[in-house]
Structure 1
Amino acid sequence: MDFLRSLKIGASCIPWRFLEWLGSTDGKAKIQYVVEKAQWAIHWEGQAIRNSLEKMYPGIMDVTPLPNRIMGASKVVHFGSQYMWESWARHLTAKNYYVASFFHGKPEDSPATARHIDHFLNLSPKLSKIVVSCTLVYDRLRKLGVNESKLEKIPIGVDTEVFRPATTEKRFQIRQEIGVSDDTVVIGTFQKDGQGWGRGNMPKYIKGPDVFLSVVEKLAREFPLHIMLTGPARGYIKNGLEAARIPYTHRYLETPQELANLYSALDFYLITSREEGGPKGLMESMASGIPVVSTAVGMAPDLIEDRVNGFMVDAEDVDGLAESALDLRSLSGTALSKMTSIARKNVAVCDVTNVAVQHWEKVYQPILDEAK
């Protein structure tokens, strides 16, 4: 299967290499950001960086899900997905400079992940820069032998103008649309946690959907719950919630603006992952004034100070997550407001404009200067 997929990718490049040989180009943009076709986190991240850079350097970046169609030389080609880079790397022209984002993964996650990391490391000499989002992954790649001069730590971005605390009226409106009462505790989990892009009945255990179900089953004994889901491949979670008779709403949204509306309905956001790059929901929640209960994964240790601007426990600690959620629910209105206010201030470092500037200053500009 991998051989046939590689053959198909290679074949898709041939017409465009031929056009390039004839002198064709794909435009003037010197930076190409490669995204997944699915309208989700990686696609939105690339588009947000492009939109921010467009205001500062018009025409400097294009976003594409089709790396085979990139033509020209001395361009920066940034793969927003480490898996896309792994698939395409051997088929790309040597005339350009390549960057890849490496969000998550450790060899002990699974044999498949271990093979992926080995392959990624073997391909790393082709990369000018590797962008990571958190200290945990930065340190991990450094220990695996990646030269620090090639690594850049830049957080995943959040548009703090789109994701912002909702008014009381907005919160009431969204909760009415969902159909939940005032005394119902609405918990959000918006990251994809099933395998593939279909129903997702097979879980991605690194995302901790099994842990999530164990935690909410405990919480359901304490107060009425409603679980808010977004994103693709949520079948495993939905099946588990139905078995536990915990009500939920699942919406698959097409824009960050639509997603921001759903945060208005939440009482808190729950992250139960064993491994993460962000997740993006962490920053979106903090920016939206929604308290977070999280495992110590991805960007959480970089952003959360336990019981100051959120709650954080070790991965797989079901009891710790449940107890943190109960402690959160026991906070006074004043204490909760203070916690979420601190969180919004702390997450400002992840504002998408700041993130785009960091990509320009740490990654793109140095490579383009070298290419001159």
Structure 2
Amino acid sequence: MRILFVINLPYSSLEILAVEAIKVVEPQGIEVLWVYMNQYIEMMDTCPEMLECVDLVHFVLDVQSFSYEQIKKAANIRPIISSYHHWNFKEIPQHLELVSHLFYVARFLESEVQQITSGKTTTSLLLNGVDTNVFFPILNQKPRDHFVIGFFGTQRPNSRSDRKGSRLLLEAAKIMVESGYKPSFLIMGYGWKNLVPVLRDLGCPVTYKVSVPREDVPKYYHQLDLYLITSRIEGGPLTLLEAGACGIPVISTPVGIAPELLTKPGFGKLLSGFESQEIAEAIMDNMENPHIAQERAQALLQEIRQYWTWKDTYKDLAKIYFDLYQKTAQPSQIKSSISSKNNIPPYLNLQQDAVVQRSIARNYALFYFAFCLYDHGEKLAALRTALPILHQIKPIYFWKELQREEHW
């Protein structure tokens, strides 16, 4: 069986979910190809028949991120699966009528899912997880001169939504500074160029990492004294599990899986709402009582190790794919009309080996991502992203990106 994943951007949490799913299902006989958001849109415009080369299409990115017609075109060719991360629309989108199966990523979403799905759409819980062989505590670290707070995530530059709660973070930082505390911040992920100078103006040291290779992420968790989540809306967050698996104390607003994990006695610190004063007081309490914070972190670490690894949370994923395929799918095939096309971009060629296709698609997605970063002022990060893969990009595609009026 062959499945196509549709994800948003490189270095995103959704890409991580896709990678971990591949590790679980490919050994069970499922080939996984993938395309990124802009690539999927191009496929629907130029060669939707490529979907005949796969059996199922899984939108790891919510289907409502695309137009109805872009989803309908795919649903007319292959069964559609969608992941559901959080309610982010004013009314139930028409797209969901086209979905055969819907994964929701936190237990609190179950009632919402029942509201938005019809009887023909099956649903199941698919929790996030963490690889505890990659994310684990480092013992006997040297003491630091500053108390370091981690704030990891991505946001489209100049976005007005503030889903990650950066305004709450700033307000809390101001309260702490006025109270005589000046913590350091380690911020990781694109979209925070405007946040960094404001924190520095308050007198807080800031380290800003725009894009970090996945294999280097654990070492940044190990530099933290506290991981802070100020999000107003979340499906995960995945970073809660990663920080917790590294033994780092966590403070979080009541979003995603945080109420499920952090309400247990002694586990982390769950805020009651979205007030900057409460956030500041919780951080200052951690700074003043590091031993209590570490006790909470150890309790959270043990819970994650026991119940929240990928092998636990994704253990039934392959079975769900196979069951859905047996009920709804038609066998994938390569028609002569597809094979004869010679103008299909390499990243959209779903006839090739899955590992090869994923590598090509990611390189081109990284190239597009570099232009996005450049357009929004992250010029150094853009160059660091593009230069290592430039030799693998066909000149015609390079020219196409230069001609594009805007990215994102």
Q: 2:92 aligns with which of 111, 118, 122?
A: 118
| 2:66 matches 1:86 | yes
Give the corresponding residue for 2:79: 97
Give the corresponding residue for 1:343: 300
Q: 1:278 aligns with which of 206, 231, 236?
A: 236
CA deviation after TM superposition for structure 1 residue 236, in Å: 3.5
Give the corresponding residue for 1:175: none
Distance in 2 (alpha carbons) for counterparts of 1:329 and 1:92: 52
Identity %: 20
CA deviation after TM superposition for structure 1 residue 84, in Å: 6.6
3-state SS of paired residue (2:66): helix
3-state SS of paired residue (2:100): strand
Give the corresponding residue for 2:254: 296
3-state SS of paired residue (2:124): strand
Q: Equivalences for 1:160-175 in 2 at 5 Å? A: 160-169=132-141, 172=142
Distance in 1 (alpha carbons) for counterparts of 2:287 and 2:115: 40
Letter in 1 for 2:86: H
Q: 1:39 aligns with which of 3, 7, 11?
A: 11
Q: How many residue pairs align between the two structures?
A: 316
Q: 1:64 aligns with which of 20, 31, 35?
A: 35
Check 1:74–1:85 CA distance in 2 against 1; reply closer, same or farther (3 A cut). farther
Give the corresponding residue for 2:172: 215
TM-score in terms of structure 1 length: 0.77
CA deviation after TM superposition for structure 1 residue 137, in Å: 2.4
Give the corresponding residue for 2:163: 206
Distance in 1 (alpha carbons) for counterparts of 2:120 and 2:271: 29
- Give a deviation string over 1:180-234, Cα, whole Å, max 9, x none: x824110001012x4x2xxx24443222110111112222334331111111111
**Bigger relative CO (Cα 8 Å, ≥ 6 apart):** 2
- Give a deviation string over 1:301-345, Cα, whole Å, max 9, x none: 121126611111133222222222223233353x44432222122
Q: Which moved more, 1:231-240 or 1:287-296?
A: 231-240
Give the corresponding residue for 2:350: none
Aligned 8 A contact 1:230 1:253 in 2: yes
Give RMSD over aligned pairs.
Answer: 2.5
Check 1:206–1:37 CA distance in 2 against 1; reply closer, same or farther (3 A cut). closer
| 2:128 matches 1:159 | no
Distance in 2 (alpha carbons) for counterparts of 1:160 and 1:84: 32
Q: 2:282 aligns with which of 324, 332, 355?
A: 324
3-state SS of paired residue (1:71): helix
Letter in 1 for 2:7: V
Give the corresponding residue for 1:178: none
Q: 2:21 aligns with which of 49, 52, 55?
A: 49
Distance in 1 (alpha carbons) for counterparts of 2:159 and 2:95: 30
For structure 1, the 5+ residue unaligned runs are 1-28, 107-112, 173-180
Distance in 1 (alpha carbons) for counterparts of 2:200 and 2:118: 45
Give the corresponding residue for 1:76: 56
| 2:342 matches 1:360 | no
Aligned 8 A contact 1:138 1:151 in 2: no
CA deviation after TM superposition for structure 1 residue 58, in Å: 4.3
Distance in 1 (alpha carbons) for counterparts of 2:315 and 2:213: 23
